[in-house]
Structure 1
Amino acid sequence: MAKQKCVLAYSGGLDTSVMIQWLIDTFDCEVIAVCGNLGQKDELEGLEEKALKTGAVKAYIEDLQEEYITDYIYPVLKAGAVYENKYLLGTSHGRPLIAKRMVEIARKEGATMVAHGATGKGNDQVRFELTFMALAPDLTIISPWKDDRWTLTSREECIEYAEAHNIPLTVSKEKIYSEDANIWHISHEGGELEDPGNEPLDTVYTKSTLLEEAPDTPEYVEIDFEKGVPVGIDGERMSSALALVEKLNNLGAKHAIGQIDIVENRLVGIKSRGVYETPGGTILYAAHQNLEELTLDRDTFHEKQKLALTYADLVYDGKWFTPLREAIDAFVDSTQESVTGKVRLKLYKGNIVPAGAWSKNSLYVDELASFDDVELYDQKDAGGFIRCFGLPMKVEGMRHRKEL
């Protein structure tokens, strides 16, 4: 009788490096390792060979970078979604794509199980499992960290297990950050960062320049958008979304753009401290908002800001494949019909300073914005408007005086 097959979300990092053999021993199954290439670069080197040597029967290294940017990052960018005012959701919107590809490979390989290495204290467990539930409710989900048969209860114990089984690692007991890197960002958690009273060490930053070492001369960049989607830099139309993000990453990293230190509220109820680097993404968010300020009317702009909070929660909470996210996307796409134009920004030592914005769809009218009387606006009309607008407050004030 053929063995069951399990598709494992494989990164080659600490947790998944020790899980292949554990899955084989625990479930007597064949393990198929799947790694989504979202732009983690050096981490992918030798990954297929490593997975096969540690027991996997197959290893898929899937290049998902372009799909990740166009179908996951850009919708979140257009929505203006930011979690708790700081986090640009760099890990959050990568997980549903990886999980979706795992389901596709599970169908192709005839697998009955899917597994991931996310811990029971984090957000990624939810993001993976909700995607599995939405796209393949018939598959059995294995989460070793929540399984009673999993006896490795700390990262230190996982390291000792790996060393005992000659599994090569890129972490050590001296530097034990939990990191997630992709084309959009890199996150750093653990180690001395677990104490919010500790300032991050300079060695934490690996994607961008230290603020003190950023150039002393500012640099300008111009970004072209079409219907809310970035398409060009400094007058040059980019060949792909990947090329555009990579170019902005290099520019932002040079000027220490996009470094944040946050104590965020995880979905599971735990506060977690993390350091994130999102150089190119931070530039794109600033540019996109500047263009929307020109092209969206007040009511639409304000309603979109409200929905951005909901959208950020949906993405953070792993609810990508939901009717509500799709419905908000439809609203956002409608608002982006007019968001075409160019934005200039000045980058200087971690700061992004607006330096101009232009759009054929601009709602900014010079003569209306001036202090001069113009045909379009009669200042005397404001008197009646204010009397009507403030009437409820006036009535409330009259009642209050009577009470006094």
Structure 2
Amino acid sequence: MTRVLYWNIENFAINKIQNPSAKKRQRGGAIKVDLSSAQRLTYISRHVTETDPDIFVVVEIETPYNNNRGVLCGGGGATGVLALLGSLRVLDANWCLVPPLITGNKEAVAVFFRADRVTFTGPDQWNGGIGPTVPNLAVPMAQAYPAPWNNCLPVANYSAARVEFPGLVGMPPANVNFGVDVRHPYQTTFLDAGGRTINIFAVHAPANFAGATAFLQTMTTMAAINSAGAANELRLVLGDFNLALLRVADSTYTNCYAPFTGLANPYTVALEPAGAPPNPLLGYSGYFATHMRPRGNARCWSKTASVAYYPSYFYTGDSRGSANESIDNVLYLAGAGGLPAAPELTIVNGVVGSPYDNAGADPGGVPQGTEPFVRDVNWYWAGLNPQWMAPNGPAPDVAPQFNVAKGVRGWFLGWDVYGKIRSTSDHLPLFFNG
């Protein structure tokens, strides 16, 4: 089994984890931003230490605009991923980084990996940065990466990610056209200890329904996506698809991944309803949520006409107030021998912890996950309702009414609780073991 942690870390750049300012105060907290950024780094690193992945994929890396996809990331995003690599190597010296390439629209992707567990194989090779990377076949064409990227990979490994993709046979032009400024998929390949090829396509689809739908459909015209799984290949398409998994009205499945599940070589959706929603719904849709509201729109308490259920209460959703947005996912396809055991997917949740194992809150048919992650919040209650918490106690199945839970608003939205988690990212990470 290969362990993969994926995370859309919102607007990731050096100031996210190493802000030098000791004068500016962190919004929502009493500390300065140099200390708050250090706390974000600790929070990110804790995901790595607790889930112990072999591969760690981060999307939404900031980079200056460059219309030439496939060149190396720059600016604060580049400095940030190098700083994160340094931090990971303090935890374990085997951490390496695929030098991140620009995928389009001022973004890059960073893929970290444990060199003692997997071997980075491309699929391309570094050719000196003149145009896009080239297929990893003609070894004499390979060149060493320039500083500061020359120490990111094991010695003499000049493999590279791929951001341009040939279409199906007979389809012009040679490479699939995703459109102007659309972020391309980002392919990296690895060999695991058992000789399997782990073939990963990281995606960050356009942030609108029409664009995201077209993006997913266009991906199916890629030869590398549409083909059958090779022997001993596990293929993962993971990331921020920006397509809602469940309908707002009744929490039924939107079938948004039909372009992939309907292929002749169909993919399996890792985060997907197992059947019809239960009745009553209770907190059903919150078990699928991967996106979080801004601090001003979030709450962890009930109102008379709006009961807040575990695990998402009302902190998941979007800035428009929509509840329980589920837009991140992992789609997978395996060739013969590519999937030796049933895969597992966990939404890693720093607010209530993972897996989602509050038995009293489970409405049935929900994905609980399996990977443990200790929540970053010590649930709080200073009043009359004991379920709202003893320190380090379980998150409540149903949050109490706000008029009972006095003081909860300021506590929950403060930097030390939801503030730090939401400041790190508006997305929850996904952990895939397969």
TM-score for the superposition, normalised by structure 1: 0.25
| Structure with the higher helix share, 1 or 2 | 1
Larger Rg: 1
